[in-house]
Amino acid sequence: MHDENHCPKCGSSDIVPRTVNDRLRAADPRGQTFEVELQLPVWSCRACKLCWQGQEALAAKEAAYQNALAKRSPARTAA
């Protein structure tokens, strides 16, 4: 587990939060696959340019997946 105020690669404290557009492939309860588009919060180190995901990214992925499932119509998931 690394210190969230420092880069896990170089140890610099010159890190900034960013938001990036991302997609993930998911499946509904019937096994139908679909893509979820989301804005993902990441951290970026200005010193070494490393980008990484923290706990907030996992929460954003889960929320986007649940939201996409709620929007899928029963007719589409049954097809």
d(CA 10, CA 13): 9
Domain presence at residue 38: yes
Does 45 have pLDDT greater than 90?
Answer: yes
Does 30 have pLDDT greater than 80?
Answer: yes
d(CA 48, CA 9): 8
- Give per-residue pLDDT as tens, 47-60: 999 999 999 999 99
d(CA 37, CA 33): 13
Please give the pLDDT value at position 1.
Answer: 43
What are 39's strand-pairing partners?
21
Please give the pLDDT value at position 36.
Answer: 96
In this prediction the pTM is 0.75
- As a whole number of angstroms, the longest Cα–Cα distance in the chain is 51
Domain presence at residue 77: no
* Arithmetic mean of pLDDT, 3-13: 91
Which domain does 31 fall in, by range? 15-71
Please give the pLDDT value at position 74.
Answer: 65
Count of structural domains within the chain = 1
